[in-house]
């Protein structure tokens, strides 16, 4: 019986850790970093695999720390929403002190691991945690501009991978990767804010640009989706601006696939604009997740196949 209880305790602890760090979200963010790394690296050797593993581990620590700090700050808010009331801190399964210790440890580990890749990678990782916890999180109950603020740390991971692969170099390519994921944040999170509007309202969180599920919000989603499409095609224009031989260059064939992928997402943004329903918003959110993943796969495939 004692062994069974011990096993259950270990399992429960693992599940709490998984939930407190938002493992699903953390893995998707780490995937963006790895995609940026694969785009930035010139060739693979044994050291590349080591850096890739360090980026994955350090990235998870940083994202996990941000998510844990977020849940500490939003304990009372989380308890008001059906979607979040069963989280470890909000439900009382984990104390704030324990969560703070976990978040602090993950922050230190993450910065140390990323610093050993290069100092700029650690710097951007630290900036991401600071912006997410110190600005984005507290602003959620104050202004809908929180999505704009949150889009900055949300856009760092894709760029972070490139910086990690290029010994801290931050140029047009890294900026382009940042821009793509920055614009992507808006239709993605506004779609979430739309279909979870009632739940967010309970906690006084208004993520939509107009504060309501109306024509203004739907139009903003459309416009930012268009900006996203344009940003995603920028690498195809690199030779025009004299950036020849870039790892991020997008061939014409790949650019067509990227464009069609963008049109696919735009179609669902138009559907939300016309229908203005929770179902349409949820569908757009799911499409946006597939969009960014497929976009990164196309970019990587184009680089290694050309």
Distance of alpha carbon 92 from the chain centroid: 27
Task: Please enumerate in sequence order all residues whose Cβ is within 8 A of that of 261, keeping only pairs 6 or more positions apart, or say none.
Answer: 232, 291, 294, 295, 298
- Predicted confidence at residue 113, as pLDDT, reads 97
For all residues of the chain together, what is the average pLDDT? 92
> Concatenated DSSP letters for 106-139?
HHHHHHHHHHTT-HHHHHHHHHHHHIIIIIIHHH
Alpha helices in the chain (DSSP H): 2-20, 23-40, 46-73, 75-78, 96-115, 119-130, 137-139, 146-165, 172-195, 197-202, 215-232, 252-275, 278-305
pLDDT digits (tens, 9 = 90+) for 3-27: 444 445 777 778 888 899 999 989 9
Integer angstrom CA distances of residue 77 from 59, 67, 74, 199: 27, 14, 5, 11
- Predicted confidence at residue 3, as pLDDT, reads 43
CB 57 within 8 A of CB 114: no
- Predicted confidence at residue 1, as pLDDT, reads 40
Lowest mean pLDDT among 169-173, 215-219, 228-232: 169-173
Taking Cα atoms as reference points, which of 291, 286, 236 lies closest to residue 260? 291
Distance CA 8, CA 280 (A): 40
- Predicted confidence at residue 267, as pLDDT, reads 98
For range 44-65, the mean pLDDT: 93
């Amino acid at each position: 019986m004692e062994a069974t209880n011990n096993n259950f305790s270990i399992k429960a602890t693992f599940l709490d850790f998984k939930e407190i760090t938002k493992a699903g979200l953390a893995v998707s963010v780490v995937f963006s970093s790895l995609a940026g790394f694969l785009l930035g690296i010139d060739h693979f050797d044994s050291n590349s695999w080591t850096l890739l593993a360090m980026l994955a581990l350090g990235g998870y620590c940083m994202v996990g720390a941000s998510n844990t700090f977020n849940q500490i700050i939003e304990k009372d808010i989380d308890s008001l929403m059906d979607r979040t009331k069963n989280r470890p801190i909000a439900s009382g399964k984990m104390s704030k002190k324990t969560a703070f210790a976990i978040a602090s440890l993950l922050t230190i580990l993450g910065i140390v691991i990323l610093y050993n890749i290069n100092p700029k990678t650690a710097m951007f990782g630290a900036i991401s945690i600071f912006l997410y916890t110190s600005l984005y999180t507290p602003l959620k109950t104050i202004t809908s501009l929180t999505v704009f603020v949150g889009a900055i740390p949300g856009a760092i991971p894709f760029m972070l991978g490139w910086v990690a692969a290029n010994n801290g170099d931050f140029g047009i390519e890294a900026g382009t990767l940042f821009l793509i994921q920055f614009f992507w944040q808006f239709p993605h999170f506004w779609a979430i804010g739309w279909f979870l509007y009632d739940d967010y309202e309970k906690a006084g969180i208004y993520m939509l640009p107009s504060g309501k599920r109306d024509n203004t919000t739907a139009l903003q989603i459309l416009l930012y989706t268009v900006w996203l499409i344009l940003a995603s095609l920028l690498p195809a224009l690199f030779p025009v601006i004299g950036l020849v031989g870039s790892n991020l260059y997008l061939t014409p064939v790949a650019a067509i696939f990227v464009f069609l992928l963008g049109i696919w997402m735009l179609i669902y943004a138009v559907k939300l604009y016309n229908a203005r329903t929770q179902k349409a918003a949820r569908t757009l959110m799911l499409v946006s997740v597939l969009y960014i993943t497929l976009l990164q796969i196309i970019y990587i495939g184009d680089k290694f196949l050309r």
